Every structure is written in C-alpha cells, then in structure tokens.
Chains A and B, each alone.
Chain A
Amino acid sequence: MVIEFYLNNEKKKIDIDASARLLDVLRENFGLTSVKEGCGEGECGACVVLVNGRAMNTCMIPVASIMGKSIVTMEGYKHTDRYKAIETGFMEAGSVQCGFCTPGFVMATESLLNQNPNPTDDEIKEGLSGNLCRCTGYNMIIQGVRLAIEKGAGLW
C-alpha cells in the first residue's frame, strides 16, 4: 500500500506492507533510531512518538493507520524550544541513566504538557505511566518534568 504522511514536518511517501509496524518503518526505512523497541507489546513506552501531536506506541501502529497524519520523532522534535526545556530539565534533575527509556519519556512529557501545561505530581505520574524506566525509580524523571515546566514557561 502506498502511504503518504508527514515525518518530522516533511512529506513522505512509501510503498509498503500495510501491516508493517510503524516502529520498524521508522527505524529501518527511515533510519530514525531514537525510536526504540523495548517490548513490542505496548508495555514499555520506548517506542513512543507523536502522531498528530499525541503520544502513541509505534510497536502497535500498523503503518497504514498513519495515512495523512503527522509523525514527529526525537530527530525532529529535538530542534524545538520545548525540547530544549525538557532537555535542560532532564539533565539538571538527573532523569537519565542508561537512556534507553529516555526518548520515550521526552515524547510522553511533550504529549502530557501539550494537554495539560500545569500538571500536579499525580498527573505527571499518570501521564508517564505508560513508560517504564528500570534505572531511576522515576523520582528524578518527575523532577525533570517539573524543571522542564519551569524552564519552558509559556511554551505549552
């Protein structure tokens, strides 16, 4: 099936098996390796990207579902001011250890703040509950989000 969509704000067209996982299409066909496979079953959030601005698990998206939609991965998102705020927040709070979960957390944070620019701690926890981190115990990730909100005041 020929799929047309926007990838990091560029129009793309690809002829591909409609059932291919968006995860693999991004990684293999477009070389976007910030998108990680941690489980392949929707449980870990390492594969999360933004689809029309909302976080989704690419391991469960058949590529035909993204026809006409806009996909943003870290490769595109990292050039934004919002990203800079999250980056600073995560660096200063110590939100990163092994880093395998981190791009997914950044995407989930963007999606959360996009919907709710001023979340409570409980809302942050709920908003990130689709992303597993085995290294940090989450405290410093939540702090990182808090800092990002501070640094990026007005951006969301």
Chain B
Amino acid sequence: MVEAFRPQNLIEALYILSENECTIIAGGTDLMVQRARGFALKPDFVFPLLFIEHLSELKQIYNNSNEIHIGACVILTDIMQNEIIPEIFKEMIGKMASPPTRNMATIGGNLCNASPAGDTLPYLYAVNAKAILQNANGVRTVPIEEFITGVKKTCLQKNEILTDIIIPDKKFDVNIYKRLGQRKGMSLTKVSLLGLADISKNRIRDIRIALGSIAPTIVRSSDIERKMINKSLDEIKQISYEISNQYDKLIKPIDDARSTAKYRKKVSLNLIKHFLENL
C-alpha cells in the first residue's frame, strides 16, 4: 500500500515535502495514466503521494495590479469559465483533452508535466508568464522559459510546489491559435501555433509567436519578433517567407506515433507564414 498524505493546507503540504520525498498529485490525468498498470490494478507509485488538488490556496484566480494570478490547482474548466481570463487563453484551453478530463486536469499539472505538447504552454511563453514556487522556507518566481528546462523536465526542486502562474492582464488586437491533432476530437497536439499581435496605424507594435510540439520545449524567439516591430503589414507580407525561414533552425521536431518530423517542420513554417500574411 502506497503511503499518502492529504494535508489540510498549503503550509502543511510544504512541511510534508520538507520531510519526505513525495510524488505530488494534482488532477492525476498525467500521473494516473503514466503509472497505470492494467485492468483493475492500482497504478504504480514508488514515493508517497502528496494530494494537493483540494487545497484552497491553490485554487484561486484573481487579478492584482495588471497581473492575473491563476492557482496551480485550478482545473481547466474553471479557467475557461472565468471572466478575467483572456479569451484566447480560454479558447486554447477549450481545445484541450475532453470535457470530463478538463474537469480534472489542473493548469499546474500541465506546466509541471512539461510536455512539448502541453497546450497551455504556448500562451504562457508568449505572454512571459511567471511561475511561483514555494517550499517550506520561502517563495521564488521563475519565468516560464526557465521553469521548463527540457522534455518533461522542470527546475522544480523536490521540496517545492508550484503554487501560482502569473500572466499579464492584457489583451492583444490579433489572437490566432491553430492546433493540429490526429483528429478533430480529443487528441494531443502534433503542431500548434499561437500568434498574438498589437497593431496600430497598420504597423506592428507588438508581436508574439509561440509554437508547440515541434521541439523539446515551446519555440519562441524574441529576436525574430523584434525584427518585425514597427513594420507595416504590407512589409510583413513581403518578408513572411524570410521570417518563417528564420524559424527553421529553431524547429526541431521528431517522428513519433502521431506524426512525422517532416510534416511538423513544414506545417509549422506554413502556419507562421499564414499568420503573418493574414494579420
């Protein structure tokens, strides 16, 4: 029988973590599947389980001086139904998994699972989201691209819990999200593009492009984005091919059960071009 903790509050949870090496379990939609063993069998856990999904400290959504705080254990359905969350992020979350799974899966779990196909990540990268990590001794704030260090790897220490995700309280003029899976209903992402932009007087004032599932982590390049600032939409159209080519070397896809590297590469470049030409 695997040992398990179900703390009453966050402080207790952090204390437990300082004393024990645990497997943290939130919604369980990644863990229970990764550790499943078969028909009518319990999943396979080595370390004691620390249940956190019920902790009210981790289930809040609120805004605070131009920032929106989303608790790590807020489930996807609740994010979709919250008024202060930017529409495009809701739209992206609405395309994840299935309604029953979205009733269980948490945003924190999606970050900590650090899959290249994690669908909240392109947005979090695009808006420079921050992750708040706590242990029994204190709090640290880590930019999203430092939080995720590789495929299924994060900078979380064994005694830390991700408590909040912070995104800016900001809306963009252009919001484009394209997500491709093996089918239209529930499927994991094989290529995705999130394009955000602010445009005034026909010129780009801000632009963000984040690509999912085509490299070990989300691909975003502030360098390439910067080159587009203050260009007119016509100029962008003319150089869309060149720009998409600049992404070429950043895109390092793989062949797997769901798609091919060749397809992922080509289609992500197509998507970038298409986004730029239709701003």
Contacts and interface: CB of A to CB of B under 8 A. Distances in A.
> Within 8 Å by CB, do A and B touch in the complex?
yes
Interface of A: 1, 17-21, 24, 27-28, 37, 40-43, 45, 48, 51, 54-57, 59-62, 64-65, 67, 108, 111-112, 125-127, 129-131
B108 to A, nearest CB: 15
Main DSSP-derived SS at the A contact region: mixed
A19 B45 contact: yes
24 contacts: A17-B1, A17-B2, A18-B6, A19-B45, A19-B49, A21-B32, A21-B43, A24-B40, A37-B39, A40-B39, A42-B97, A42-B101, A54-B77, A54-B100, A55-B99, A57-B101, A60-B29, A60-B33, A62-B28, A62-B43, A65-B54, A111-B103, A112-B99, A125-B185
Contacts of B99: 55, 108, 111-112, 126-127, 129-130
Q: Which among B38, B53, B98 has the highest number of chain A CB atoms within 10 Å?
A: B98
Contacts of B54: 65, 67
Interface of B: 1-2, 4, 6, 25, 27-29, 32-33, 36, 38-43, 45, 49, 51, 53-54, 77, 97-101, 103-104, 185-186
Q: Which among B1, B41, B98, B100 has the highest number of chain A CB atoms within 10 Å?
A: B100
B39 A130 contact: no
B6 A64 contact: yes
A19 B103 contact: no
B190 to A, nearest CB: 16
A51 B6 contact: no
A5 B97 CA distance: 27
Q: Which among A27, A37, A41, A42 has the highest number of chain B CB atoms within 10 Å?
A: A42
A48 B97 CA distance: 14
Contacts of A45: 98, 100
Nearest to B4: A18
A62 B4 CA distance: 11
Nearest to B32: A60
Given A18-B6, A42-B97, A45-B98, A129 B43 contact: no
